[in-house]
């Protein structure tokens, strides 16, 4: 079996193609607002947008929340709704949270302010 060895220029070109492919498929952006009259973010949080075929997936990995839609703005709006729903659910049952939901709740408590 013969090994294929890349020349320095081929390696550089391949590296650029890989970086471009990753750069166009994923984006990390700041989320400045939950777009809700009752809840306010104390500071921006970073979310990931993944562009896959005809869909956009928005995710907030700190609490394993995600949403998907046809456009980035729709996916972000749905993610905001999901974050609020998770916060409200965890807040209602604070006394019975396991280790992971408790971690999520403390994360959300640190970033969300009720108006």
Predicted local distance difference test score (pLDDT) of residue 53: 85
Fold of the domain built from segment(s) 26-114: Double Stranded RNA Binding Domain (3.30.160)
Query: pLDDT-derived band of residue 21, with 50, 70 and 90 as boundaries?
Result: low
Q: What is the pLDDT of residue 49?
A: 95
Domain boundaries, the chain: 26-114
Element (H, E) at 65: strand 65-69
Q: Read off the pLDDT of each residue in 46-50 and give the average, rounded to a whole number.
A: 95
Is it the case that residue 15 has pLDDT exceeding 80?
no
- Rounded CA-CA distance 99/73 in Å is 32
Between 60 and 12, the more confident residue is 60
């Amino acid at each position: 079996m013969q090994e294929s060895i890349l020349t320095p220029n081929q390696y550089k070109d391949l590296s650029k193609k890989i970086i471009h492919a990753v750069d166009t498929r994923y984006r990390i952006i700041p989320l400045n607002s939950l777009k809700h009259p009752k809840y306010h973010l104390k500071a921006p949080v970073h979310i990931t947008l993944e562009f896959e075929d005809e869909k956009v997936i928005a995710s907030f990995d700190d609490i394993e929340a995600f949403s998907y839609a046809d456009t980035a703005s729709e996916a972000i709006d749905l993610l905001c709704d999901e974050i609020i729903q998770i916060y409200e659910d965890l807040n209602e049952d604070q006394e019975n949270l396991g280790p992971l939901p408790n971690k999520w709740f403390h994360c959300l408590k640190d970033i969300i302010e009720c108006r």
